[in-house]
Amino acid sequence: MLSDHEQNLLEQMERALYAEDPKFADSLRKSRRGGMNRKSFLLGVGGVIVGLAVLVGGVATQIIPLGLIGFFGMLAGAFLCYRSFGKGEEAEAEGSGEAAKPTAPSGGGKDSGGFMDRLEERWQQRKDRGQY
């Protein structure tokens, strides 16, 4: 468990990251949620199973086009399973336009460039005062 001081520092870092690059911060938040579209996932699993059955049938009967159809069916099912993780959240963010909204950087009123520039500036100030 984090102490109160550590939690405050983490929240400050989160706010600074969100102010610097809101699109990247949104993508990190989405990946933490780990949402999954269950219907799409089950459809993909079904596609893999049916594709496998068709592939085996094509190999057993030595009908090459049937085996190819089964193989591509398996591929499509696997791709659908892969896309089922986090797809709904991305579509919501793109549709509402929230991810593309720029936000003003938070700070002391002075826009010094970027987050790393501000950190470097603070480090330089501490170094000049002998507090490193």
pLDDT tens figures, 38-67: 888 999 999 999 999 999 999 999 999 999
pLDDT reported for residue 95:
47
Q: Which residue has the higher pLDDT, 34 or 12?
A: 12
Nearest residue to 118 via CA among 128, 132, 107: 107
- Which residue range is the domain that position 95 belongs to? 8-129
Residue 1 lies in a domain: no
Q: What is the mean pLDDT of residues 64-73?
A: 94
Residue 2 lies in a domain: no
Q: Enter the DSSP assignment of 102.
A: -
Residue 64 lies in a domain: yes
Q: Which residue has the higher pLDDT, 52 or 131?
A: 52
Residue 77 lies in a domain: yes
Residue 38 lies in a domain: yes
Residue 3 lies in a domain: no
Query: What is the three-class DSSP state of 101?
Result: coil
Q: What is the mean pLDDT of the chain?
A: 77
Q: Which residue has the higher pLDDT, 101 or 114?
A: 114
CA distances from 83 to 8, 24, 98 (A): 35, 20, 21
Residue 63 lies in a domain: yes
Residue 101 lies in a domain: yes
Q: Which residue has the higher pLDDT, 13 or 69?
A: 69
Instruction: Quote the number of domains for the chain.
Output: 1
